[in-house]
Amino acid sequence: MKLLAIDASTEFSSIALTLGEEVLVEELSSQKTHAQLLLPMIQAICTQAGVEIADLEGIVFGCGPGSFTGLRIACSIAKGLAYPTQIPLYPVSSLTAIASLAREQYPEAPVLAVLDARMQEMYWAYYPPQTQQVDARLNAVKDIEIPQTQEVVLAGVGIDLYWQDFTEQLKSQVTQQLTLYPQAATMIRLVQEGLIKPVTVAEAQPVYVRNQVTQGERGG
């Protein structure tokens, strides 16, 4: 299955493309914006693989939560590429991608996936063992709670920044801390494993989690 994946939910621009059994990856963190980076990255990786957009069987994109601007750009590019031939789109949660990466190291552990939402808040989702899909939440760091009987791997972006703000109870449950960013290659793997349902171009939307996107873009 020929898949292109795009993620811009954090400061990293992440692109991946399946080429037979291989997955080609391109990732950049730059002073340039996602809008400046993503299309040239997509063009370069497709040229390297000898793949045309029309050849794709699916386009995967990080739907959020994360940077509002990055989410809009990734979704818009995915929809624009998919529209001419109505290629199926696969929206993947940024937090699910982080949890999946954490499970590569700790397969049996519960995972608390987090992303910095600014202003002492985090997007988060708790993934018990064997759980793949969980709704994302937004809370002040001090209000994040998980079942108190569980030890957990804490993974994502902003952990060092906000560690002092987590409750003592939660900190006592954390067995490992992993700084992990959502990766396009991981999103492709989730689609290949049949864990992500396709949507149409009309249905594809970013998932902001915040009720409204404010003018100041508090979340990104």
Domains of the chain: 3-93+182-192 (3.30.420.40), 95-179 (3.30.420.40)
pTM of the entire predicted model? 0.93
Question: Mind listing the pLDDT tens digit for each residue in 168-185?
Answer: 999 999 999 999 999 999
User: What tokens appear for 129 in the block?
Assistant: 């063992």
User: What tokens appear for 18 in the block?
Assistant: 């399946």
Question: Mind listing the pLDDT tens digit for each residue in 106-157?
Answer: 999 999 999 999 999 999 999 999 888 899 999 999 999 999 888 999 999 9
Instruction: Give the pLDDT band of residue 7 (cuts 50, 70, 90).
Output: very high
* More confident position, 90 or 218: 90
SS3 for 30? coil
Q: Within its chain, how far is the Cα of 162 from the centroid?
A: 20
pLDDT attached to residue 34? 87
pLDDT, average across residues 29-35: 78
Question: Mind listing the pLDDT tens digit for each residue in 42-100?
Answer: 999 999 999 999 999 999 999 999 999 999 999 999 999 999 999 999 999 999 999 99
Q: What is the DSSP string of 36-53?
A: HHHHHHHHHHHHHHT--G
Look at residue 215 and tell me whether its pLDDT is greater than 60.
Answer: no
Total Cβ atoms within 10 A of residue 185 = 21
Give the closest residue to 183 by CA, choosing from 105, 80, 86, 100: 100
pLDDT attached to residue 213? 45
Q: Comparing 17-21, 142-146, 160-164, 205-209, which segment has the lowest mean pLDDT? A: 17-21
Q: For residues 197 and 176, give the distance between their C-alpha atoms in angstroms, rounded to a whole number.
A: 31
